[in-house]
Structure 1
Amino acid sequence: MLIKKPADIKPSEITDQNTYLNRRAFIRDSGLLGVGIAASVMGLPWSKQSWAEAAPGKRVYPALAKSNFSTDEKLTDFDDATSYCNFYEFGTRKSDPKENSQAFVTSPWSVTVDGACEKPGTYTLEDILKPHTLEERIYRLRCVEAWSMVIPWVGFSLGDALKRFQPTSKAKYVSFYTLHDAERMPGQKRRVLEWPYREGLRIDEAMHPLAMLAVGMYGAELPNQNGAPLRLVVPWKYGFKSIKSIVRISFTEEEPVSTWNQVQPSEYGFYSNVNPTVDHSRWSQKKERRIGNWLKQETLMFNGYADQVASLYSGMDLKKFF
């Protein structure tokens, strides 16, 4: 039997045993095996009050602006979206983030803004939120391990937020950093990745109206395991680009370091656009499995957002700049 060391673990982990067994147990205990399988294929309903009931201390957002960007696809079940996560700061198993992040304190929270901008500084989360109207955007989130979700995010335009800091003409890219605190994020005690987790976008990508900063999901504040209190959502890219628990935003002239690209550049490109014609070196990206479904479906170019974002990459070799 091959036993991987922590440093060998990649985000290509298959569905963990607990998730699989729990789903089967639910179907068995319901006494509705046939109906249960059909429900799994179709996707399960989402209850708007689930998060508020599960964590009454979290803020609920009762009135949200609806976004024209939203998909009308069936939402991923709330429990799946909050228990099947990649967040290595709390562990490498899909179930670890939920199990290990419950004591994570996210208030007060501040974000440092620096680099090529006219208004650098340290801003509280309230400062960043203050001028924005929160809206709900239902986006697909496609992960490189060939699974995906459809989540109703709560947040605001990334571009609108960045404009407030007045990036200069030298700002060709923008980079993001996750909190680095091994006492609060116990997964950082293991050198699975180079901490802190970092991600980056080209400035025109960051300014695109589809990109958003999220502070919630399913009508309430973000659960800790999903990136509380502030995370990025870039729906046309693979999920690891949507960095969680952001504490620093930096405008740069050079392409910034991004964590998975640093770990394995031949497998994880800087752009990481969803592209079914470019396979990961160890598996195909042509199909994906929506969490909550058993059957796979075709992966869409740019995760189905080609009409909106394809022009950003006009003339680029997307197999070279993957």
Structure 2
Amino acid sequence: MTTNQNSAPVTPTPAPETPLRPEAEVLAQARRRSRRSFIGLGLAGLAGLGGWKWLISQPDDSGIPHPLRQALDANGRLSQAYFKETRLAPEFARSRAKDPRVNGRIGLAEELDPAAWRLRVQGYGAGKTQEFTLADIQALPKVEMTTELKCIEGWSIVVHWAGARLSDFLARYPLATRSGRPADPLNPPADLAPYVGMQTPDEKYYVGLDIASALHPQTLLCYEMNGAPLTAAHGAPLRLVTPLKYGIKHLKRIGTIAFADTRPKDYWAELGYDWNAGH
């Protein structure tokens, strides 16, 4: 707006309003857009269906189509490359800990007398099998940690665990080497077994770990959860906890441990999941 000392302000002329479009024209344009969207979605659906049919038509590799197996193997290689003995899973305030849901009862169907339970460990190579009581495990240094239990189903929960490091067990009982040398994770002996397998007492559930994951400082032979002894549903009297792996590796009710030169069998890997199961 412009003014001078001797004249009144000049008010700008408002711009003319855009005329409304006829209703018929608006509806016609909406119909055209709807048809284009419908055709686009239909083509995308057909492409997705064709891709799925192609995928399931591919030869199986360890129980799943080969392209998916390649993707899982790539994830496994990435997980292994990212793994370090010094890389720790995040820990949380103990006040955040909650009881996890009971997820999976395979290997837990039979009644078990905790007093009669024994952990059987097959020494590497020609080593004999030794048996251990829960008291033997509890005599090792007790380690407590509050970490996140992650499930492949997509949920997670913070849990407080207590038990003995598997590395401390194998230092006290050197069953993972042919020579009987302790399994020092910082200075691994040349004859250290590359893999370890674990099974429930009934042998119906089983997992395999590479030895580096087994000797990780957060991998526990766990006998307490959230300040109380394990319940039967959560793996009493002893379970595996390894927080850099998904829950499918956290074997409940450990019955036997054995060492191997090749990858041990793994329940979920046999059904097509990633053997490493790291995150």
Specify if TM > 0.5.
Answer: yes
SS at match of 1:152: strand
1:239 maps to a residue whose letter is G
In structure 1, the residue matched to 2:113 is 105
Mapped to 1, the partners of 2:252 and 2:176 lie a distance apart of: 22
- Whether the 8 Å CA contact 1:119–1:165 is kept in 2: the answer is no
Which residue among 217, 237, 242 is the counterpart of 2:245? 237
| 2:106 counterpart of 1:88 | yes
Kept in 2: contact 1:74–1:150 (CA 8 A): no
Note the C-alpha offset of 1:273.
0.8
Assess, with a 3 A threshold, how the Cα gap between structure 1 residues 70 and 116 changes in structure 2: closer, same or farther: same
Give the SS at the match of 1:205: helix
Q: Distance in 2 between matches of 1:117 and 1:70?
A: 36
Consecutive unaligned residues of structure 2, counting only runs of 5 or more, are 1-88, 178-190
Which of 250, 270, 278 pairs up with 2:275? Answer: 270
Confirm whether residue 148 of structure 1 aligns to residue 156 of structure 2.
yes
Q: Does 1:196 align with 2:204?
A: yes
Q: Specify the SS of the correspondent of 2:269.
A: helix
- Distance 1:75-1:120 versus aligned 2 partners, 3 A rule: farther
Q: Which amino acid aligns with 1:109?
A: W
The alignment status of 1:71 with 2:80, answered yes or no, reads: no
How far apart, CA to CA, are the structure 1 residues paired with 2:254 and 2:107? 13
Equivalent position of 1:95 in the other structure:
none
The CA deviation at 1:196 is 1.9
2:268 counterpart SS class: helix
Find out whether 1:176 has 2:185 as its counterpart: no
Instruction: State how 1:229-308 maps to structure 2 within 5 Å.
Output: 229-263=237-271, 265=272, 268-274=273-279
Is 1:138 paired with 2:146? yes
Tell me how far 1:242 sits from its aligned partner.
Answer: 0.7
**Deviation, structure 1 residue 220:** 1.6
> Does the Cα contact within 8 Å between 2:145 and 2:161 map onto a contact in 1?
yes
2:274 maps to a residue whose letter is G
Pairwise CA distance, 1:207: 0.9
Q: Rate the CA distance shift 1:165–1:84 in 2: closer, same or farther, 3 A.
A: same
Describe the superposition over 1:78-121 as per-residue Cα deviations: whole angstroms up to 9, x where unpaired.
4xx2x543223457xxxxxxxxx8x6432221111114168643
Contact 2:106 2:205 in 1 (8 A): no
Alpha-carbon contact 1:142-1:149 (below 8 Å) kept: yes
Give the AA of the match of 1:85: N
Q: TM-score, normalised by structure 1?
A: 0.50
- Alignment: residue pair count: 177
**What is the aligned-residue RMSD (CA, Å)?**
2.5
The aligned amino acid for 1:86 is G
SS in structure 2 at match of 1:246: coil
Q: Secondary structure at the match of 1:204?
A: helix
Does the Cα contact within 8 Å between 2:230 and 2:236 map onto a contact in 1?
A: yes
Give the structure-2-normalised TM-score: 0.57
How far apart are the structure 2 equivalents of 1:229 and 1:177? 14
